[in-house]
Amino acid sequence: MTKSTVYLETTVISYLAASPSRDVVVAAHQHLTKAWWDQRVRFELFVSQAVVDEASRGDARVAKRRLALLDNIPVLALSGDVHDFAKRLLAAGAVPAKGALDALHIGVAALNRMEYLLTWNCAHIANAAVRGKIEETCRSAGLRAPIICTPEELMEP
């Protein structure tokens, strides 16, 4: 049986590597992310060089934990086509200009035919107000948009 493909956006890795939060919402997201991570063997996981770069930033100890989580996960290239499609997402207003990196995540997932894009970025990616624009931009480019969801939405019942 073929496993579903999942592109992991950086926020998922960040929630896994972070120290437990006192913020109730963030702590819940961390808990759900860890529960999903325990089920990850059901999926074929991928990241991009953008995820690796983002995971490398910040506090060196936490960055080391984030990078360790990425071990053995294939890294998808940020090709010229990915950059071109990210620009198309920005030009279409599917992602705001300040979300250029988010457009790269969407682009790499769509161009590599990922079934899912897993994220906690509910401002520019997993957002009902923009999801339709993302899907339309993908369709107009002859691509199928990945299913954009949070770890909570991709849990086995």
CA–CA–CA angle 120, 79, 139 (5° rounding):
65
pLDDT at res. 1 = 72
Q: What is the pLDDT of residue 87?
A: 97
pLDDT at residue 156, rounded to an integer: 81
For residues 13 and 51, what is the distance between their CA atoms, to the nearest angstrom? Answer: 9
**What single string gives the DSSP state of each residue in 36-92?**
HHTTGGGEEEEEEHHHHHHHHSS-HHHHHHHHHHHTTS-EE---HHHHHHHHHHHHT
pLDDT at 11: 96
Q: Give pTM, 2 decimals.
A: 0.95
pLDDT score, position 136: 96
| Rounded average pLDDT per 10-residue block, the chain, 157 residues | 94 96 96 96 97 96 96 96 97 93 97 98 90 95 96 89
- For residue 108, the model assigns a pLDDT of 98
Collapsing DSSP to helix, strand or coil, 124 comes out as coil
pLDDT at 117: 98
HSE-CB at 88 with a 13 A cutoff on CA atoms is 22
- For residue 34, what pLDDT is reported? 97
